[in-house]
Amino acid sequence: MKIALCQINPTVGAFNHNRDIILKYYQQSIDINADIVVFPELVITGYPPQDLLWEDGFIDRNLSVLNEIAAQSSLPIIIGFVRKENGRLFNSAAVCYDGKLQTTTDKILLPTYDVFDEDRYFTSGEEPKVIPVPVKGKQINLGIQICEDLWDHDYDCKVSQIQKEKGADILFNISASPYHEGRLFRRKDLIQEKVKETGLPFLYCNMVGAQDELIFDGESLAFSAKGDCLGQGKAFEEELVLVNLDSNQSVELNIQPREDKMYRALCLGVSDYFKKTGHTEAVLGLSGGIDSALVATIAADALGPNQVHGISLPSKYSSDHSLSDAQALARKLGIDFRIIPIQEAVEGLETILHPHFLGLEPNVAEENIQARARGNLLMALSNKFGWMVLSTGNKTELALGYCTLYGDMSGGLAVISDLSKIDVYALAKWVNTQNPGRIPEGSITKPPSAELAPDQVDPFDYNVVSPLVDAIV
């Protein structure tokens, strides 16, 4: 028996687009002689639909698209959608074949932690189901789960075990599981644990793509009843993974280097954010430091260098190497580079404020005038040309408050806000292993500084505070 796992990239609310890619992959699955075709969780609506779920028209369109897909079904297809019954919403999977919707099953375990708030919208299914479907003249009993139903350690309901007891022949899990460092290994361990407990093959189909701050990595998995890996989807790419359950050939799990995976995740996050919000060009301040250098590199790879504008915004405290490193980076990336000095704007604001600051010692107020002048100029360019401002703060400095509201925090997308400062350095060095000298060495080796005061350097040992922030946050 051949199973097609279609890890595709839907967009929240783009019903026609989502329907078209579902049908495209469904037809491709038929063409390669699949017996069952599987799509991710809530693939018709996109994930997470959040408060769009309160709109009746949204739910109705989701059901209409499901019926359009069902009408074109021949082979059994498992597909995620929103079911409505007696005013309640369910995160559900539909099983369609022979031109119609045959049956549905609902998600049992609703996550309400971290980035998830499904209990806000959905009602939990009453009990795990096993669904019989015809495959090559035989009845095959499918235990269909949805995402969190796999992660049942902290719940009383053990979905896989119940489906085994109800006579399941195969377990399926359709997911919209966001990327997190090490998540692949956790999924693999959980699936192999379920296989060991039940003695059943387990197929896991995960979404790919980015939606706002979430990035879905794909990496769908298939394991035989013996616990051998029979197939794995690519990371951060749409793919149809055809799995032959009758094959005795196992595959080695493809484990990519940590920094490689992080970088690809961030590139997908940027490219999908722009694509799904209708933006095409990005602008960011290039200080010559490591954070803006990494963000510019990600943006150039995600959007193409012709779509990225790097702006150097020097003040009287900016060092010569800051400007030269920014220029060298822009040249290496092939992006648009412009210099807009801010000293005149800063002095103008200081002159206006002088009567009100009279007799007071200069402090962070004067420093932040510079950061806000930079933010103001970048936002003006954004407004005039329709460029999306990328902010460049990392997780460590944001958590510590070492940033300026309305200054370097201005922007439409905070590209590296989930990277610690240590990870920023690790990724910058990894970039240079792939393309030597792409990020200027000076940006990596010089002491980090906001350059808002004479001889200023960041007042932290990042090797100490960065792991502390990670541990606390």
> Which of 96, 118, 129, 147 is the catalytic position?
147
* Residue 115 amino acid letter: V
| Total length of the chain | 473
Q: Quick check: 322 and 339 in contact, CB under 8 A?
A: no
CA distance to 146, 161, 223, 226, 281, per residue, from 196 (Å): 20, 11, 11, 8, 50
> Which of 107, 129, 276, 421 is the catalytic position?
107
Q: Quick check: 288 and 326 in contact, CB under 8 A?
A: yes
- Look at the block and give the residue holding tokens 């910058």: 428
Catalytic status, residue 147: yes
Report DSSP state, residue 148.
Answer: G
C-alpha 5/C-alpha 240 separation (Å) is: 6
C-alpha 371/C-alpha 287 separation (Å) is: 11
> Which of 41, 148, 219, 451 is the catalytic position?
41
C-alpha 94/C-alpha 102 separation (Å) is: 8
Catalytic status, residue 157: no
* Residue 299 CA to its chain's centroid (Å): 15
* Residue 28 CA to its chain's centroid (Å): 26
Phi, psi at 319, each rounded to 5°: -80, 160
DSSP H or E stretch at residue 245: none
| CA atoms within 13 Å, Cβ hemisphere of 221 | 28
Catalytic status, residue 158: no
Query: Which distant-in-sequence residues (6+ apart) come within 8 Å of 433 by Cβ?
Result: none
Report DSSP state, residue 55.
Answer: -
Q: Among 220, 239, 240, which Cα is nearest to 230's?
A: 220
- Look at the block and give the residue holding tokens 């896989």: 160
CA distance to 292, 358, 436, per residue, from 183 (Å): 27, 56, 30
Phi, psi at 136, each rounded to 5°: 50, 45
DSSP structure string for 371-386: HHHHHHHHHHHHHHH-
Please give the positions annotated as active site: 41, 107, 147
